[in-house]
Structures are given as structure tokens and as C-alpha cells.
């Protein structure tokens, strides 16, 4: 039997986690970003100790960079069916001071989590608390998803956050492939 299709089939969007939520923890509030966060973002990301651990942040980082990034995030929020990423501001409970960011994004068909925290809030367990809350909510919406993350070798604090959350360390096979002698050793080929 033959069938004639006269209408184009509807485009099926890749299922996503839905719009970015507001998440409350004991000490933090995670929420979508606002344009009013620009100054705090610029202050944090202009700090070399923070920015050096991030792979996609220009240096120096100024308030206009923050506004440009926030405008892209706002556009993504309006098209959540097309861009399903979550980018959450990490703020302190009660006074809503912006102290960091957690992003869960779809890149090359895989979900990835990344995060940063203003240096003055390091060492207090805040990032572990924030990432745990964001991932827990994400997995409620996307229970069968595999979530990837990366960490620079000289960032043991971020590695501890990931280990606490159950991530397993795996070698970066792309970096291994760049070793000219073909030996299987650490990604630095050293």
C-alpha cells in the first residue's frame, strides 16, 4: 500500500528539562540570571583566579561582556524549546547577592554541567551545595540523562565537588590522541 503525505511532518524537538527553575537550599537560592547581575558577574570573572579555571571566558572581562552574555541567556530563556540549557545564578539566601553560576547545557548531543564561584566564597561548601541542588532538580526532569563535566588538572576543589556528586574520573581520550608517540598516559603527554 502506498500513502501520499500532503503535509510536512511536525518537527519533533529534542526533549529538554524545561525552563530553568528557582531552587532554594539551606544557604542559597539558584535562579535565572537578571541584567542587574552584570556588575557582580563582571567583578567575579575579571578575577584571574576564577577566570583561569573556565574555558570560555574572555580576559579581561568587563561589565559589557557580562551584559552581552546576559542578553544571550535571556534570548535562550525565551526559546527554551530550541535552547534547553539552564543557566542559574547562585545567590545568597535572603539578600540575593550574586556569587556564582551553574550551567547545564546541551553541547554536541551531550548534557554538560559547569560552574564557577566568586573567590571570596570559596572553601565554604557552597558550590557543592549549589551543584547538588541543580543536578538533583535536573535529574528529576531528565532521569535517564548522562551528565558530563570537566575539570582542569590544577583545580582540586572542583574535582572534589564532582567526586562528592558521584562523577567518575575518566581520561580525556581526545587529549590522549594528541600525544605524538601514541602512549596512553595523562592528557598532558608528560
Q: Are 128 and 114 in contact (CB under 8 A)?
A: no
**HSE (CB half, 13 Å, CA atoms) of 44?**
25
- Model confidence band, residue 123 (pLDDT cutoffs 50, 70, 90): very high
Phi, psi of 121 (to 5 degrees): -110, 5
Select from 170, 172, 166 the least CA-distant residue to 187. Answer: 172
> Cβ distance 120 to 157 under 8 Å?
no
pLDDT at 163: 77
* Structural domains for the chain: 23-177 (3.40.630.30)
More confident site: 151 or 89? 89
C-alpha cell at 170: 575518566
Helical (H) or strand (E) element with 102: strand 98-107
pLDDT over 90 (residue 146): no
Q: Over the chain, what is the mean pLDDT?
A: 77
Global pTM reads: 0.76
CB 76 within 8 A of CB 17: no
Closest CA to 152 of 59, 45, 52, 56: 52
Q: What's the confidence (pLDDT) of residue 119?
A: 94
Residue 77 has pLDDT above 90, yes or no: no
CB 124 within 8 A of CB 142: no
> How would DSSP label each residue in 18-42?
-SPPPEE-SSEEEEE--GGGHHHHH
In the predicted structure, residue 179 carries a pLDDT above the cut 50: no
| pLDDT tens per residue across span 148-175 | 887 766 776 777 777 777 765 555 544 3
Would you say 121 and 87 are in contact if contact means Cβ atoms under 8 Å apart? no
Amino acid at each position: 500500500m502506498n500513502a501520499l503525505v500532503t503535509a510536512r511532518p511536525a518537527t519533533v524537538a529534542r526533549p529538554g528539562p524545561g525552563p530553568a527553575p528557582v531552587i532554594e537550599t539551606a544557604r542559597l537560592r539558584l535562579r535565572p540570571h537578571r541584567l542587574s547581575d552584570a556588575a557582580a558577574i563582571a567583578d567575579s570573572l575579571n578575577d584571574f583566579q576564577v577566570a583561569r579555571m573556565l574555558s570560555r571566558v574572555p580576559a579581561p572581562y568587563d561589565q559589557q561582556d557580562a551584559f552581552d552574555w546576559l542578553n544571550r541567556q535571556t534570548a535562550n530563556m525565551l526559546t527554551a524549546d530550541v535552547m534547553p540549557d539552564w543557566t542559574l545564578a547562585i545567590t545568597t539566601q535572603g539578600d540575593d547577592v550574586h556569587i556564582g553560576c551553574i550551567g547545564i547545557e546541551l553541547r554536541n548531543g551531550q548534557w554538560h554541567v559547569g560552574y564557577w564561584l566568586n573567590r571570596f566564597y570559596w572553601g565554604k561548601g557552597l558550590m557543592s551545595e549549589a551543584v547538588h541542588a541543580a543536578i538533583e532538580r535536573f535529574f528529576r526532569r531528565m532521569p535517564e540523562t548522562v551528565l558530563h563535566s570537566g575539570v582542569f588538572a590544577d583545580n582540586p576543589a572542583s574535582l572534589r565537588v564532582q567526586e562528592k556528586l558521584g562523577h567518575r574520573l575518566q581520561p580525556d581520550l581526545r587529549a590522549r590522541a594528541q600525544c605524538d608517540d601514541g602512549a596512553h598516559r595523562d592528557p598532558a603527554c608528560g
